[in-house]
Copies of this chain bind each other. A is one copy, B any other.
Amino acid sequence: MIVPDPMSGDELEARLRQVGAEQYHNLHRFHRRLHAGQCTYEEVQAWALNRYYYQASIPIKDATVLTRMGDAADRRAWRKRIEDHDGLREGDGGIERWLKLTDSLGFPRDYVTSTKGILPATRFAVEAYIAFCRDRSLLEAVASSLTELFSPGIISERVAGMLAHYDFVSKETLAYFTLRPEQAKRDSDFALDFVKRHAATRAEQELVIRALEFKCSVLWAQLDALWCAYVERPIPPGAWVPGTVTAARGAAA
């Protein structure tokens, strides 16, 4: 059997960027609808509610990765991700900023944080991500974070689109996204450098690419489920039903 030579770091990076160009969820029709102002208020509510579970699970995912890092310098770098989401003090951090968004959309905080209204498919996808970072190699766990290579682009598109089209969002309610591009750049620089250094064989490089594809599928599946439930309907049993739970529109803002 012929074992192919490893790619250069630049070639690997190009392959990873190609995965993003073809499979990242900015291409999903739910995002196009969201950013173009075509979502109903209730669809934006459902998006924010479901995505809360993803946001709230990221530090757990990152702590899972941390448990697997043998190198203190790597752990110091990775720890920043947890600090970003959980904050340095109460009232700070990405999760708190996401809750400002769900606040503004009329959801009681204890309902959002209970996650009882999210779609089962959201839960399954997010848990698959955590399980991947626990059960696969550290290299693959780090590689699965590389969707952050593509997130600054989608965030600027999202913030501009949502501010232009929806009177119920503001710079304050979208505060989560203000800090993310810079954090994502720092984090994806680290992760890209890590996979370039640690994927020594062609087989390992292919695992890195598969890991990024997997992560794209985790994000894509969440939008498929949102589309199916809240754009196309019906809503699966047990998931949040628009018009329930929330305060009247505008009352919370």
Which residues on A are within 8 Å of B, measured CB to CB? 22-23, 29, 119-121, 123-125, 127-128, 131, 213-214, 216-218, 220-221, 224-225, 227-229, 232, 234, 236-238
Contact = CB atoms under 8 A, between A and B. Distances in A.
Contact of A124 (B121, B227, B232, B236): B121
A124 B225 CA distance: 12
A156 to B, nearest CB: 23
* This chain: copies in complex: 2
Interface of A is mostly: helix
Contact of A224 (B22, B228, B238): B228
Given A128-B128, A131-B131, A237-B216, A221 B121 contact: yes
Nearest to A227: B228
B221 A224 contact: no
Nearest to A120: B217
Contact of A238 (B124, B127, B213, B227): B213
A199 to B, nearest CB: 21
Given A216-B237, A220-B237, 17 more contacts: A23-B237, A120-B125, A120-B214, A120-B221, A121-B121, A121-B125, A121-B224, A121-B225, A123-B128, A124-B127, A127-B128, A221-B236, A224-B225, A224-B228, A224-B236, A227-B228, A232-B232
Contacts of A125: 120-121, 124
